[in-house]
Structure 1
Amino acid sequence: MTTQDVAVAIPCRRRWPGLAALLLGEAMNLLDATVVQVAAPAVHADLGGPVSDVQWFGAAYTLPFAVLLITGGRLGDIAGRRRMFVLGVTVFTVASMACALAPAPGLLIAFRAVQGAAAALMIPQTIGLIKAMFSGEETGKALGSIGPVMGLAAVCGPVVGGVLTHADLFGSSWRSAFLVNVPVAALVLALARNLPENRAPHRPPLDWRGTALAALGTGLLVYPLIDGNLRQLPPVHWLLLGAGLLVLAGFAWHQRHTSRPLLEPSLFTHRGFPAALVTSTAFFAVTNGLTVVVVLQLQLDAGTGVLASGLSLLPWSAGLAVASWWSGSRLVRRHGRRVMPYGLGLLLAGLLAAVIAYRTTTPGHYPVALPPALALVGLGAGLFTPAFFTLALRPLRPHEVGSAAGLLNAVQQLGATLGVAVLGSAYLAGTGPGAPQGACWVAVGLLAVAWAASVRVGEEERA
C-alpha cells in the first residue's frame, strides 16, 4: 500500500483534528510575526542596543523563513510531511522559549532566526497533508478554511501583541509575546497525532548549494539596508550590496546549469510569472514595512503605549480580513484581473491619507486621522491579494503549481524582510514629524513598482 493510500484511508474522525493542527500551525506563524512587530519597541527599551535592532527582531525571522521555504517543502516530500511538520513545531516551540528568556538583543535575534527556520519546515507541509487527508469536495472545503483562519490571525495579532505586553503578566512584559506560543504549540503537537505520514512518490532533488547561495545573497542585501543610514551608506555597505547582487546572480546562473535546481525552470517560460515575483516582492515590502513604521511612530514619537499601537492597527487588519473574503468569494470570479488595480488604488489612497494624517498632527501627539487611513490600506490589500495569487497561478501547468506557490510564498517573505529594512531605515533616518511621511513616500514608490509589474500578471490568460 502506498503512502497516499494510507493517507486517504485514515478514519474521518481523525481528519478534522489533523486539519485543526495544520490551521493552528499556520495561525501560530502569522501571530508570532504580528505580535512581535507590535512588541518590538518595548523589547528594545528593555534590552537596549541600537534602534536598528527593532527591525532585526522581525527581519531575523522572515529572512530564513523566506530562503528555506522551498527546501522545507522538499524535505517534507523526501522525509515525510508529518515528520517535518512535527519537527518544525517542536523547534519553533523551543526557540520561542529561548526568545522569551533572551538576556540580550543579539541572542534574541539569533533565536528569532531559529524560529524562522523552524517555520520554514512547518508551513510548506500544510497543503500536501490536506490533500493527503481529504478527497473530492472535502478537499476544497479544507483548503478554503486556510483563508479565514489567516484573516482571523491577522486581525488578532496586533491586539494580542498589545494586550500581552501591556498586561505585563507576572512581570513578563514583552516576553509573554513569545511564551504564548508554548501552549498553542502543545495543542498543535497533541492534535498532530491525527496526521498521516505522507511523502512524494518520487524523491525530489535537494539543492543545498542553491539554498546557500540564496541565503548568502539575500543576507548581504538586507544587512546594510537595516544597519546603515539610507541617506549616507558607508562604502563598506555599498560593497556588501554589490556582493549580494553578485551572489544572487550566481544563484540564477546555478539554477540554469544545475541538474537538480531548487526552482522549476519551466516557470520562467511563462511571460507573467517573473512579473508576479516582482509584484509580490514590492507589494509585501509595502505592507510589512508600513506596519513597522506605524508602530515605531506611535511608540517612539507619539508616546502611545504598546496596547494603543496594537489597537491602532486593528482597522487595517479588519479591512484586510473583510476585503480578502469579499474579493476571493465574489469579485475575482466576476471581474478577474480588474480587481488588482482597484486594490492597489485603494492602498495608494490609504498611503496618501497616512501622509496627510502625519502632516496634520502636532509632533508628540497621536495622529487621529491615521486609523481610517490604515483601514483603506487594509481594504486595498485585501482586494488585491486573492486576485493576484489566483491570476499568478492560473496559467501554470499542474506540475508547476507546487513549486510556483512555494516560490511566491518565499518572495513574499523576502519582500517583507526588504520592506522592514527599507521603510524602517527610511523612517529612522528621517528627523522630526517628516520621518513617517518620508517612509510613506518610499512606500508609494514601491507600490508603483508593484503596479507596473502587475500589469503583466495573467497575460497568458488574456492571450
Structure 2
Amino acid sequence: MTAAFMDLVDVTIVNIAIPSIQRETGASVSAIQWITAGYALAFAAGLITGGRLGDIYGRKRLFLIGIGGFTFASALCGFAGSPDILVVARVLQGATAALMVPQVLSIVHATFPAHERGKVFGLFGAIVGLGAVSGPLLGALLTEWDLFGLGWRPIFLINLPVGIAGLLLGAKFITESKAPRAVRLDLPGVALITLAMLMLIYPLTRGHELGWPLWGHLSMVGSLFVFGALVLYQRHKTLTDGSPLIELSLFRVKSFAAGIAVQLTFGVGLGIFFLVWTMYMQMGLGWSVLRAGTTGIPFSVAVSVAAGISVQKLVPRFGRKVLQAGALLMIAGLLIYLWESERYGMGITSWQMAVPLVVMGVGMGLIVAPLTDAVLSEVPKGHSGSASGLINTVQQMGTALGLGLVSVVFFGAIGDRLAPEEVGPAFVDAFQQSLWWVAGVLSVIFLVMFALPARPRAHVEGDADVEGDAHPEGGVNEEGGVHEEGGVSVQGGTSVRGGTNVQGGAS
C-alpha cells in the first residue's frame, strides 16, 4: 500500500510544480515536457517487462528492487542541479516504478486467501483515491511552503522516508512468490517497442523548439516501420516458443481492439489537458501554486464519487452507454470551460472553474471505472494477464504521446517573443485552442466505444480457472478475475492507471 500510494502521488504531484521548476532551473520547453513525458514513457515501456520479471525471479525481489530504485531516483530528482539531470532522474523513476507497480497487487493476491482479498482490495481502493486527491494538493503545499528554502525539491524528497519505510517493511513482511510455470522474457520485443516509442515521441517533444527539422519527420515515419517489425517479430515469437511480449491474437477480439484504441486516445487527451491546464492557471492567469492545486480538488472528488457509482450501480443496468455518457459529459465540461474562459478571460475565479471541472470529473469517473472490465469481457481467460498488462501499457503510451503533442497544440499557439504583458493572454488563448483538441479526441473516443460490448459480461470461457493456477502469460484468474502483470482486475473493477481495476476504488 505504501508503494502504491507513493507512485500515484508522484505522478500527480509533479504537474503542479512545473512552472516553479521552469523558473528556478531555467528549463527549456522540451526539458519541461521530458520531465513529465520521460516518466510516462519509461513507465509504459517497462510495465510488461516488470510484470514478467516478477513472475520469473520473484515478486518480492522485484518489488524491493523497484521501490529501492524509485527512492534513489527520487533523491536524484530532489538534488538535481540542472534540467538535464532532472530529466534523466525522472526517466529512472519511471523505469523503477515499472518494476515496482506490477508487483503490488500480485503480492496481495499471492499473500491473502480468497475470502480476505475483498477487504484488502477495498483498502487499496481507498489508498488509491487518497493518492489521486492528495497529490496535487500536497505538491502545491510543499512548493508554497518552500521548506528550508528548497523550493520545489521537497515534492521529490518526500519520497525518501516513505520509500525507506516501504523497503524495510517489505523486506520484513512480504513473502516471496513466483509463477509456477517459467516465463521467458522477450528482450528483442522490449527493445523494439521502446525504440518505436522513442522515435515517435522524441521528435514531437523537440519539434517546436528545433523548427520541425527533416530528421524529426523521418523519425516519426520510421517509427511506423519499427512498430510493423515488432508485429512481425511477435508473430514469429508466438510460433517458435509461445512467449511473445504481446499476444497478437487478442486483437482479433473486437471489444479488446476497440478498448485498446479507447485507452490510447484517452491517454492522449488526458496527457494534453493536465499539463496545459496547470500552465494556464499558473503562467497564464498568474495564480499561486497553492491556488492552482486547490482548484483541482472538485475534479478529483468528482472522479472518485462517479467511479464508485458507475461500477456498482450504473454499468450493471446500462452497460456501454455509461462509458459513452462519460465521454459526452467530459466534452460538455470542456465546452463550459471554453465558454467561461472566453467570457471571464484573465478574471476567471476558482469557483467559476469548479462547475466545468465537476462535470468533467464525473464524466471521467464514468469512463475509467468500467472500461477495463468492458475491454476484457470477451478476452479468453488464458490471455487475461497479458491483455491487462497491454491495456495499462497502451494508456501510458497515449499519455506520453499526449505530452509530446503539447508542443504542437499549446506551445505552437504561443508566440516566441512576447512582451511581459502579452504572456498571460497568449497562454489563455493557447489553453482555449488546446481544449478544442481534447474535445475532438473525446469525440473520437465516443464513436470508438460503439465497438465495445453493449453489456460487459463475465470473462469468456476458454481456460479452466482454479485457485492458485497461474497462466503462463503472468495472470492469475480467480474469484472474479485477478489479472497480474501490470494490470489487475478485481471484482467489479475501477480502473487505476488504465489497466488496474479495484473494487469501488477511485482512479
Residue 87 of structure 1 is aligned with which of 41, 65, 68? 65
Structure-2-length-normalised TM-score: 0.83
Q: 1:221 aligns to what?
A: 200
The size of the alignment, in residue pairs, is: 441
Residue 179 of structure 1 is aligned with which of 157, 160, 166? 157
Residues 461 and 94 of structure 1: CA distance in aligned 2, closer, same or farther (over 3 Å)? closer
Q: 1:330 aligns to what?
A: 313
Q: What is the CA-CA distance between 1:459 and the residue it aligns to?
A: 6.2
DSSP 3-state at the match of 1:303:
coil
Partners of 1:166 and 1:306 within 8 A in 2: yes
Q: 1:159 aligns to what?
A: 137
1:438 aligns with 2:433: yes
Q: 2:230 aligns to what?
A: 251
Q: 1:362 aligns to what?
A: 345
Partners of 2:373 and 2:456 within 8 A in 1: no
DSSP 3-state at the match of 2:365:
helix
Provide Cα deviations, 1:363-414, integer angstroms capped at 9, x if missing partner. 4765763232122111110111112111111222222111111111111111
Per mean C-alpha deviation after superposition, the further-off stretch among 355-364 and 384-393 is 355-364
DSSP 3-state at the match of 2:245:
coil
DSSP 3-state at the match of 1:197:
coil
Quote the sequence identity (%): 36
Partners of 2:43 and 2:95 within 8 A in 1: yes
Partners of 1:288 and 1:420 within 8 A in 2: yes
Partners of 2:330 and 2:364 within 8 A in 1: yes
How far apart, CA to CA, are the structure 2 residues paired with 1:296 and 1:340? Answer: 29
How far apart, CA to CA, are the structure 2 residues paired with 1:52 and 1:375? Answer: 31
Q: Which amino acid aligns with 1:38?
A: I
Superposition pairs of residues 22-171 of structure 1, within 5 angstroms: 23-171=1-149
Q: 2:485 aligns to what?
A: none
Q: Which amino acid aligns with 1:256?
A: R
Q: 2:173 aligns to what?
A: 194
Per mean C-alpha deviation after superposition, the further-off stretch among 134-143 and 67-76 is 134-143
Per mean C-alpha deviation after superposition, the further-off stretch among 425-434 and 225-234 is 225-234
Per mean C-alpha deviation after superposition, the further-off stretch among 395-404 and 354-363 is 354-363
1:388 aligns with 2:371: yes
How far apart, CA to CA, are the structure 1 residues paired with 2:288 and 2:340? Answer: 19
Q: 1:240 aligns to what?
A: 219
Residue 383 of structure 2 is aligned with which of 400, 405, 415? 400
Q: 1:303 aligns to what?
A: 286
DSSP 3-state at the match of 2:402:
helix
Provide Cα deviations, 1:1-60, integer angstroms capped at 9, x if missing partner. xxxxxxxxxxxxxxxxxxxxxx22112111101111111111111111312322211111
Residues 81 and 24 of structure 1: CA distance in aligned 2, closer, same or farther (over 3 Å)? same
Per mean C-alpha deviation after superposition, the further-off stretch among 180-189 and 327-336 is 327-336
Q: What is the CA-CA distance between 1:268 and the residue it aligns to?
A: 1.9
DSSP 3-state at the match of 2:345:
coil
Q: What is the CA-CA distance between 1:116 and the residue it aligns to?
A: 0.3
Bigger proportion of residues as helix: 1
Q: What is the CA-CA distance between 1:455 and the residue it aligns to?
A: 1.5
Partners of 1:275 and 1:457 within 8 A in 2: yes
Q: What is the CA-CA distance between 1:92 and the residue it aligns to?
A: 0.2
How far apart, CA to CA, are the structure 2 residues paired with 1:149 and 1:391? Answer: 24
Q: What is the CA-CA distance between 1:358 and the residue it aligns to?
A: 1.9
Q: Which amino acid aligns with 1:381?
A: M
Partners of 2:320 and 2:456 within 8 A in 1: no
Q: 1:267 aligns to what?
A: 250
Residue 263 of structure 2 is aligned with which of 280, 283, 288? 280
Q: Which amino acid aligns with 1:133?
A: T
How far apart, CA to CA, are the structure 1 residues paired with 2:138 and 2:268? Answer: 23
Gaps in structure 2 of 5+ consecutive residues = 415-425, 461-507
Q: Which amino acid aligns with 1:246?
A: F
How far apart, CA to CA, are the structure 2 residues paired with 1:340 and 1:365? Answer: 31
Gaps in structure 1 of 5+ consecutive residues = 1-22
How far apart, CA to CA, are the structure 2 residues paired with 1:239 and 1:363? Answer: 40
Residues 168 and 381 of structure 1: CA distance in aligned 2, closer, same or farther (over 3 Å)? same
DSSP 3-state at the match of 1:395:
coil
Q: What is the CA-CA distance between 1:140 and the residue it aligns to?
A: 2.9
Query: Aligned-pair RMSD on alpha carbons?
Result: 2.0
Q: Which amino acid aligns with 2:430?
A: A
Provide Cα deviations, 1:164-206, integer angstroms capped at 9, x if missing partner. 0111000111100000111111221232121110000111111
Provide Cα deviations, 1:338-377, integer angstroms capped at 9, x if missing partner. 2111111111111111211221233476576323212211
Q: What is the CA-CA distance between 1:139 and the residue it aligns to?
A: 2.0
Structure-1-length-normalised TM-score: 0.91
Partners of 1:158 and 1:310 within 8 A in 2: yes
Partners of 2:320 and 2:449 within 8 A in 1: no
Q: 2:479 aligns to what?
A: none
DSSP 3-state at the match of 2:451:
coil
How far apart, CA to CA, are the structure 1 residues paired with 2:41 and 2:449? Answer: 24
Partners of 2:129 and 2:304 within 8 A in 1: yes
Provide Cα deviations, 1:261-299, integer angstroms capped at 9, x if missing partner. 101233223111111111001112222321111101111
1:203 aligns with 2:182: yes
Partners of 1:292 and 1:424 within 8 A in 2: no
Provide Cα deviations, 1:215-236, integer angstroms capped at 9, x if missing partner. 1111111112122239973322
